Amino acid sequence: MSRPAHWTLLAAGLLLLLAPQIIGWIDKPFYLDLITRIVILSIAAVSLNLILGYGGMISFGHAAFIGIGAYAVGIPAYYEEYSGLLQLGIALGGAGLFALVTGIICLRTRGIHFIMITLAFAQMAYFTFVSLDQYGGDDGLVIDVRSEFPGLIDLESGVQLYYLSLAALALALFLVHRLVHSRFGRVIEGARSNRERMHSLGYDTYRYQLVCYVIAGMLCGLSGWLLGNFTSFISPEMMDWTRSGELLFMVVLGGTGLLFGPVLGVSAFIIGEEVLSGITVYWQFIFGVILILVVLFARGGLGRLLLRSGDGHG
């Protein structure tokens, strides 16, 4: 990475760190909501980027993990169990288990079949939660009390929830960075570009990919756990297949296989949605056209555009 890119990152990091103060000065509390949403969804996008960008596994069912994480807040809260550690444990464990079970089957397939089977499993999760009438079914569930960490942090405060999310994002980025630069990451990238060669080198790529898939699922579950706390309302709609499509769009928009690409993509998507929906009710039309144009003409995403303008080579 070039020098200007380092400075941009540092500036962006500082801006995120000071955001609640700045928002306090200009007295626009709504912006805190917006930026919290960006940070939380970035974690999901970073996890999708791990399997998609580095591992070449195009998951079209990633929103299922968000939903599992969110319901890990909602269902215990329904029974008045607000322990944050317990809920977080359920979120990570549930998402991890779902990733393990579905991954065992999904990773047997390649290409278009992998896209479709991840979609199918996400649909199964979607319909499972739709049919849970006890927890609101289609209509969803309101979370009255956010996860509790007595004496540590108070999530009822928007600023504290924001900082927790930011810390989680930093952790996710650090984890992905370490993973892809380890031997494990080399095997994952090798399996994407030439599986047969990795096999003949003696690597059991299936196992590596499965572990990678489970890690990504758990990271995304963490994002869902934060999102459930943030929105205080959960419904199966969170894992609708169009949500998975949007997540894919965000990752590709930012640039697949770039560490900070997903954060960039999520920011552009959410800010774009906010600005456009303020201008016209038909903002989705503009969004759709942009999406098509990005695919047709701006290959490599925003991240690579920035890198190119920064140092002159990709």
Positions touching another protein (CB under 8 A) are 52, 58, 60, 105, 108-113, 115-117, 119-121, 123-124, 127-128, 130-133, 241-242, 245, 248-249, 252, 256, 281-285, 287-292, 294-296, 299
Helix residue ranges, H only, the chain: 3-26, 30-49, 63-78, 84-106, 111-131, 158-180, 183-193, 195-200, 205-231, 241-254, 261-279, 283-297, 301-311
Question: How many whole angstroms separate alpha carbon 231 and alpha carbon 258?
Answer: 29
Would you say 201 or 292 has its CB closer to another protein?
Answer: 292
Question: How many whole angstroms separate alpha carbon 301 and alpha carbon 287?
Answer: 15
Would you say 111 or 150 has its CB closer to another protein?
Answer: 111
Distance in Å, CB of 284 to another protein, minimum: 4
For the chain, report the end-to-end CA distance as a whole number of angstroms.
Answer: 10
Would you say 7 or 282 has its CB closer to another protein?
Answer: 282
Inter-residue contact 43 to 250 (CB < 8 Å): no
Would you say 93 or 300 has its CB closer to another protein?
Answer: 300
Distance in Å, CB of 12 to another protein, minimum: 25
Distance in Å, CB of 206 to another protein, minimum: 13
Distance in Å, CB of 22 to another protein, minimum: 33
Q: Provide the phi-psi class of 80: left if phi over 0, else alpha when psi is between -120 and 50, else beta.
A: left
Inter-residue contact 35 to 208 (CB < 8 Å): no
Three-class DSSP category at 238: helix
Would you say 155 or 253 has its CB closer to another protein?
Answer: 253
Would you say 84 or 301 has its CB closer to another protein?
Answer: 301
Question: What is the torsion angle, in degrees rounded to the nearest 10, for the CA atoms of residue 154, residue 159, residue 165 and residue 168?
Answer: -70
